[in-house]
Amino acid sequence: MSDAYTQIEDRPTRQALLRGWRERCPNCGKGHMFTKYLKVADTCPECGEELFHHRADDGPAYLTILLVGHIMGFAIHLMWVHFRPEPIVMATVLTTGAVALSLFLLPRMKGMVVAIQWARRMHGFGHNH
């Protein structure tokens, strides 16, 4: 490791992830990370931390699909084994649940991806201003 790297103080990853889950600035935890549903603010409205460096891309969508798929798979099994609903009822309930869960998780996953990038000083987050 270079001396320049060791002189940079570590950012608390766990705290940043929790703040990202709450859709808050990974630096201060007070400002809203998003200006719209999934549009990350260029800077935190509270502390001024620059957030435009992020490169979330498709990562949050993949994480959301992974979680929703596992939860829905478990729900399908439980519904079929314990209740045996009509196929149309089961499809309607599971589709509604999958859409609702996806809409709930997607901004939280994006917040966590941006927060991990901030904590690890990735994609320009490491510059000291």
102 pLDDT higher than 70: yes
Residue 55, pLDDT score: 93
d(CA 39, CA 52): 10
Radius of gyration of the chain (CA): 19
> Would residue 129 count as lying in a domain?
no
> Would residue 71 count as lying in a domain?
yes
16, 119 Cβ separation under 8 angstroms: yes
* Domain boundaries, position 48: 11-119
> Would residue 76 count as lying in a domain?
yes
Mean pLDDT across 18-26: 97
Q: Is the pTM of this model over 0.85?
A: yes
> Would residue 2 count as lying in a domain?
no
| Domain count for the chain | 1
